[in-house]
Structures are given as structure tokens and as C-alpha cells.
Chains A and B, each alone.
Chain A
Amino acid sequence: MTQHQTAPAPVAAAPSAAHAAPAPLLSAHRVNVFYGPRQALKDVSLSVAQASITALVGPSGSGKTSLLTCWNRLTDLIPSCRVTGSIHFANLDILSPHTDVLQLRRRVGMIFQKPNPFPFSIRQNLACPLREHGVTDPHLIDARLESALRQVGLWKEVSDRLETAALSLSGGQQQRLCIARALILSPEVLLMDEPCSALDPISSGWVEDLIVELRQQYTIVIVTHNLAQARRIADHVALFWVQHGTGQLIEHGPTAQLFDHPGHVLTAAYINGLRG
């Protein structure tokens, strides 16, 4: 993640590189997620290589978001939610009760479907999480704020009005601000839950371009309903399906392989169904 390559990585080149990748950065092994008595996710095993984009696709209710929120333990916020199995981030056992959850969430950023900036000024939105994680020097905060806003291409648009309310920005700008807010903590992983689906097509395009740029430095897991988008940006695709009311992982593999030679009837049906 310290490398700064400027050449855009060709999507088609990803599979072989990913296969050669050594230890995965994120992994889930035989994970089950329950909401009260209902099982939302059954026996899912999946690993994500460093500096790649993995897309989780599948119909609604197939547990994609549930898996996503396991990786930053946002599942803790749902009172009746229970997770079993083993989930790791590098060498860190995420489900262990001794894990420092706040530190984990600092290292694993998350972007939500609906842009959710705080009802503060733009500056406060970015400064508040930084201060929480121990950065109190105002010069340092300003510097990091500018770099994060530049990273998401928002600096030129808002540099003269950092004190205005973040909620006065347009939807696309708000979403980029949320991405900047996650980036400012220099996370290693970005979890994205349908980051484009609540945006208009133009903003959606910007955010998608941004994601492709970010893959140089971050490991990205993205939930999307847009198969075309998954095909455009992802190195790996994992298909989830609802079987007997429970979400399951049907197939996962390099993007090209999954789209061109689906190994499972459901995968083929899903891809073709959406095509035709």
C-alpha cells in the first residue's frame, strides 16, 4: 500500500496476479450470521487478496451486506445479531472479544449505500474522526484534510467553503466526502455497500472512477447490484444466493472466469437473466 503506481491496472490482468497472491488480507472461514432465530448467512468461506477489488453480487437478502459488516464488526450494533465461524484481517482474529474494535474500524473503512455525512461542517466531518484517533495538531489535521479531499477530487469544489454544512452538498459530493472521511484515517481496507446505487448516473460514474483509482492503495470489497459495474471494476467476483431463506456463497473466482465460464447453473442463470 506504500506503492504509488500511476498506470491504471488493466482489469483483465487481475486474475493471474490474484492467484499468485500470497496470504489473503481478509478472510472468512465457515461464517454463519444469525439475526435472532433467522439465519442470514450460511457457511461462507471467502478470502480477499491485498490491493484488489472484490465484488459481492447477488439478489437482495442473500447476505452480502451481512458478510461485509462482519469485517468491521458493525454487526455489534444489531442487538440480536450473532456471528459464528472465523474471520481474520491479516493476523487479527476479528471475532475475538479481545479485539480492539475501534482500532479495527480505523483500519477497515466503510462506505454506505446512502451518503451519511454528519450534520456538521465539511471540516468537522473530516476532523472529528481524526481527533478521535489521536491526531490533535491543527496543522496536521489541515494537511490530511486537504490530501483526503484531493484524493476524492473534492478539494477544488469545496476548498473555499469548508465551513459550510456537509448536508448542503449534492448527493455525489456527499458520497465522495464520506469516502474522504474514511480515507483520512488511512485505512487498509475499504468496505463499500452499494456506494453508487443511491446516486444519479453522473455522480455514480465519478464514484466508480474513484474506486478504480483507489484500488492501487487499498483493498476494496464492494457490494453491488450492478453486474456491469462488477465486471468493469472488480478483480474477483463472489456470487451470493438465497437458498431456503438463507444467504449462501454459490461461486467465487476471477471476474473474467466467472462471467465467461460460470461454474454453477445459478451463476449462469443470474448473469444471463440480467443480461437478457
Chain B
Amino acid sequence: MALAVVGVTASQARADGYSTTVLSMQLSGPDVDGRAVVVRAVDNTGSRGARQVAQVLATATTSDRGAAVLAAEPQALAAFVDDTGWVNFESQVLVDGEPRFTSFSRRWTGTDWADRDGRPAAVPLTMSTAAPTVTAEAPAGLAMTDVSVARQASRGEVACVWYDDSAGNALTTIGEFHTGANTKGSFTYGSSSDSDIGVGYNYGRGWSVGGSGHVGNSRSTYIRFNQSSNFHRQLRSTFQYVHWHLTLGPSCASASRWGQRYQKVTPSSWQSGSELGPVVKGSFCKSAAGRRSFAPNSDFYRGSKRAYTYGAAAKAWGASLSATSGFSKFVDMNYHFGGNKKVRHYLCGRPDILSSKIIYAR
């Protein structure tokens, strides 16, 4: 079957490197050819009882090898760009008569759409046609707070459209910080959020992870964890999550599926607030590899590097969601090593402290 792509503009890919490709999809698994694909820009912030604000950008049908390329002009997405320049998208693929969704985010670089690691969106993203893996229910933990529920279901709900039925706050892991002996340090998050948090989907068979959404809203302040010596913990802040539902109908599913209800949970916004997470146990910086020593009365700071992805960083409505924060102008770390000349000050990371996702200390 020949690749058929609708909505791909002439400027999708040009010799000068300019490309509006927003998703290059490679389906894996059985029956990958001839699948209908839709990509929408979505607003994950929601409004209780209302349908999700979304804009169909492109549609396509996968090739006989399961490939599809979809494009979006950045100028058309101004309403969906968050405070940090990111746009959230959702792809929809028809499998076994029902839609499967994947959330992802992109930032326009000026010449192309790129993902969180700076990879061009033209790099194929593998998606499976196999049944989604149902993740274990989120372990018992801190309860959600400030939960608000839509008063009643929207009258005349349209099938195949997501509706916001509730929202609530959940503590979410945003990072991990370590200090060694004779050291003070700070981990700063804000004043704009910079986190990618998992999106959970429930197709009626339990929650599964379906990509991630970027939370990049600004607040008037930042949070800073100021810590003294020998601190080794995860750090948390509060994010709002939205619970959505969708009812299958003719425009997105085969007749046997009509009336079936889907759910999803998306990260919505950063609410600020800070709390220390679990202690990280271990012996750190014992090996010379990746380790650097620092003089008394010296400093080290680092920003603009993607941080570690924390699995089960948050739970909302039973969905267990991962989270990744960036070290950027929005997230950074500072170390102030004390003047005690008898103490050795070590930071370490693999391959080194400038590029590691976590900086450890001793």
C-alpha cells in the first residue's frame, strides 16, 4: 500500500533543513498497514464539564510498512503554545475498530519541531498496534488534594471527544538532589515549570501509559530547596491533573465499540508548593570515574540539561505517571563548598557531572 498523507504541506521537508514534520510514526506489531492516523494539538488544562480544546492538524494512512508522517505549520498553533514554547499533541490510530491514543510534545526550533531531547520530529517514533500494557495500579500514597468535579455531564456530549470531568492536585517528583560533607546547595524549580509528565489512558481494561505531556506554565515565583550537608533525597512539587472521558462513536470506532467509554489523565499545570520526597540511599562518588573534587570556598552550578525520569512520580485517579524535569533556566542546581580544608568535596555523575542526569555528592 502506498503511503498516503493528507495535510502535509509543501514545506514539510526542504533541502535547507526546514521541516514542519510534527510526527513521524512507525507502527510495530500486527497489521500495521492502512491504519488511519490523526494528530491533534491539545490543551491539557481543561475546564470542568467542557470538551477538550483541540485542533486537528493532519490525518494520514499508514504505509504497508506501518509508516506515516504528519506535519503542522507552527504559525497555526499559537493558541496551543505554553509559557515555555511547547505544544502538546495527541495522536490517534485506529486499531481493532477502536482508537488508540499517544500524547507527545514538541517545540518549534525555528526550522523544525523537536522533542524534549532536541531530536527532530522527523526521527520515527515507534508505536505498537498490540494491546496496551496495563500498568499496575498506582501504589498507595499521598491522596490527591483540591479535587473538583464537573457538576454534571455536558448535555449532548459529542462522541469521540474528550470531556473534562474532574481535576485535582498531586505531589509529583521533580528531581533529586545530593550534597556531600561541608556543603550547602540549592535546587531551584521555576518560575516556569519545565516537566514532562506521563499521560495515562484507560481503554476500559485498566490504566496504561500513553506518552507524556509538557507542563510549562509560569507562576509568579519559583521554589528553591536550600539544603545543608549530606542531603540525599527526591524532591516534589504539586501539579494539577485533569481526568477526561470519551465515548466511542461512529467517527472514531467501529459499530461494535460504540458507547464504550475511555478515560485519560493528563498533567495540567504546575501549582507550586514543595515537599521533600523519599531518602535516596546508597554510597556515592566512591569511584574515581566521573568524579570531580572541588576546592574549599568554591562553587559549582549547572543548568540546561535534561534530568532523570522518575517512574511513578505521581498518581492520579489510580494512574501511575512518570515525570522528567529539565535542568534549564527553569531548573538548576548550585553547590557551595565550605572552607574546611580537611574535608574533600566531591561531585560525581556518569559520564561526568556536566552531562549526567543526576549529580551525586560525597
The answer to whether A and B come from one shared complex is: no
Binding site for A on B (CB under 8 A): none
- B-binding residues in A (CB < 8 A): none
